[in-house]
Every structure is written in C-alpha cells, then in structure tokens.
Amino acid sequence: MWLEPNEIKVKMVQYLDENGRLISGEADITDEELVSLYKWMVQVRVFDQRALKLQRQGRIGTYAPMLGQEAAQVGSARALGKQDWIYPSYREVGACFVHGFPMKNFFLYTMGNLRGADTEGANVFPIQIIIAAQCLHAVGGAWAGKYNKENSVSVAYVGDGGTSEGDFHEALNFASVYKLPIIFFVQNNQWAISVPRTKQTASKTIAQKAVAYGMAGIQVDGNDCLAVYTTMKQALERARQGNPVLIEAVTYRQGPHTTADDPTKYRDLQELEQWMAKDPLKRMKAFIVEKGIWSEEFDQAEFTAAEQKVTEAFELALHTPKSKIEEIFEFVYEQKTNQLIEQQQAVAAEEVF
C-alpha cells in the first residue's frame, strides 16, 4: 500500500492563544515557575537588544539575534535537570543562560577572548558554528551518558535550515538505532538566512521527520512558553528511558539572521507584523497578569533589573585581560600532548600576540 504524505497528520501543541488566554486545560506548573519563565524571557530579550546595539557600536563581534524566539529557548531549557546537557548552535544563547552559562562569558566569546569558551561548570557545550554538526556531538554525548549510566539527556538545538544537512539525518538515525537519551529541538523560525522553510523541505512539518527514523516526534507552538515547557518535560521523561525525541518548535526570527544580514531584502513587512502579533513575551505577560501574579509595576522593575545584569556582565567582560595566542593550546585536550606542549612553548617564545 502506498504511503501518501497527506495521510500524516500533525497537531500542534498549544496552551495559550496569541492574546495569552488559556485554551488547552490546566498545565502542571506552579505560579512561581510561571513567573520564573517570564522573568527569564525578559532577561533574554534585554540581553538580545543590548547585544545588537553593542555590535552596531563595534564593541562586540558578529551576533545572531534571537528576538522572537525567547519562549522556545527559555521554555525548553527551564525544563532540564542540572545533569542534562545542551549542544547549541550560534542562536541558543538564551537557552545557555538559563542552563547556567555565564552572560559575561558570552560577551567574552563575542570579543574573541578565549575565556569565553569556559562554561564554568554549566553543562553547555561550546557554540557550534558549522550547521547541524552539534547534532552529531550530542549523539556522542548521549551515548557516553548512557554508557556511564548518568541519567542525563543531551539536547541538540538546531534551526529549520539545519534539518537539510546530512549531519542532522545521520544523528537521528544513530540516536534511534542505539536508543539514546537525546532530544533534537528544532527551532523552526521560518527562515534559514534568506531561504524560507518551504524551500528547505517538502515535508508538511519538520516533526513528522521523526517517523522515518523510528522515534517520537511532536510539534509545539514555539511562541507559547507554557506549551514548550510542558512538552519538554514530557520529552525528557521519554528520553531518559532511551527513547529519543524530535521536537519542532514553530516560532519566528523577528530580527536579522546575524548582524551581517538585512532581512528586508528577502521578506516583506506584512509577514513580520503578522508574527509580531504572536510575540512570546506579550502572550506570557498577558497570561500571568490575568492570573493576578504579575503587574505593570513588577514588569517595569524586572526590565530595569535585567538591564542592570547585562550592564554588569558586559563591564566584567570589558575589564577581563585579553587572551594570549599561546592560550589557544589550553582548549584542545583536557591533557595536552607532548606535541601540543612543544608548539605552545614555541609560540610563547616568539612572543606573538
């Protein structure tokens, strides 16, 4: 019998509508956690806006904004346990912050300081620039975690464009065959630089790609932090049992791909306006205000506090001593080989800075 694409039905998980009204029963979450989710979304947005300005001022290097994707990143990362691991690409800085990566270190990273690679105890792998390569790294980490009986889950964050890479498909296949504790979290933000999702894949959804690899897949409203958090909690339960999961979080990149990009060249203003009406912060704020656990006064104070945290982190990075070229050798292996030691000594002797 023929398997027809239109026979595959995928229903998106959603708890809050665009106006912040609960449309799908009661979620298993406390008021305290709801407020925490929103506070983190505020912090991530404030950081993102400041980082964009700092890059325009020439004070940090190229930056990949995450405006509009706060719910997907915060909701997914808040669900993780401390033992779990994040394997990010260049746009997951929000998720990394939630999981313990210091804000100061990301600023150092954008300044070209080698100390920016130090996660300081957070279970976050270095940012991966090569598209979808982190999916394979996450598979290796998940396999190691399973072998060592760590009860940890590896989470590979990837964009919709990354699902067109061979590394993504190889990772899913390997993870499913070996029953690894891993989640592939796809942030479908509709654009891979200037290429729309419809040009990336003919699949009606990205979530359904899980079926071909024998794993569970689900599509969630990526602008609904409550839905993302709840879905991620469920996915973690599955993954800890050796059942890999593919999550498609449907969201939208409101800003440029990076600070080297101009989105006005390839997408129209009407599309942007339609998605801005679905803004994740607006939605979550409306929900917690209606519940009576948040107010405009709290909101103003939270944005002010978030600004202060970003300022402090940037100042710390700014006054951190610059890296020396010989320090590069400290970030290759945990224990340097004799050859690396010789190379490091040679570079140091040349006094190259």
304-340 per-position pLDDT tens digit: 999 999 999 999 999 999 988 888 888 888 899 999 9
pLDDT in tens, 185-198: 999 999 999 999 99
Query: Which pLDDT score is estimated for 3?
Result: 84
Closest by CA position to 163, among listed 122, 128, 124, 207 = 207
CA nearest neighbour of 220 among 7, 16, 32, 79: 16
* CB 207, CB 221: distance < 8 Å: no
Read off the amino acid at residue 89: S
d(CA 288, CA 20): 8
Rounded to whole angstroms, the Cα distance separating 207 from 248 reads: 5
Residue 352, pLDDT above cutoff 60: no
Burial of residue 161 (CB within 10 Å: 0-12, 13-18, 19+) is buried
- Distance between CA atoms of residues 5 and 201, nearest Å: 13
Is the pTM higher than 0.85? Answer: yes
Question: What was the pLDDT predicted at 157?
Answer: 98
> CA-CA distances (angstroms) from residue 291 to 205, 226, 248, 300, 319?
33, 14, 28, 18, 43
In terms of Cβ atoms closer than 10 Å to its own Cβ (0-12, 13-18, 19+), residue 33 is middle
63 and 321 Cβ atoms separated by less than 8 Å = no
pLDDT tens digits along 237-283: 999 999 999 999 999 999 999 999 999 999 999 999 999 999 999 99
pLDDT greater than 80 at residue 24:
no
Residues 6+ apart with CB under 8 A from 4: none
Identify whether the C-beta of residue 53 lies closer than 8 Å to the C-beta of residue 120: no
Residues marked active site are found at 253, 257, 266
- Give the up-direction half-sphere exposure of residue 168: CA atoms within 13 A in the CB hemisphere: 20
Task: Work out the percent of the chain whose per-residue pLDDT is above 90.
Answer: 87
For the domain spanning 9-322, the CATH number is 3.40.50.970
Q: What percent of the chain has pLDDT over 70?
A: 99
What pLDDT digit, counting tens, does each position of 82-117 carry?
A: 999 999 999 999 999 999 999 999 999 999 999 898
- Would you say 246 and 210 are in contact if contact means Cβ atoms under 8 Å apart? yes
Domain ranges of the chain: 9-322, 324-353
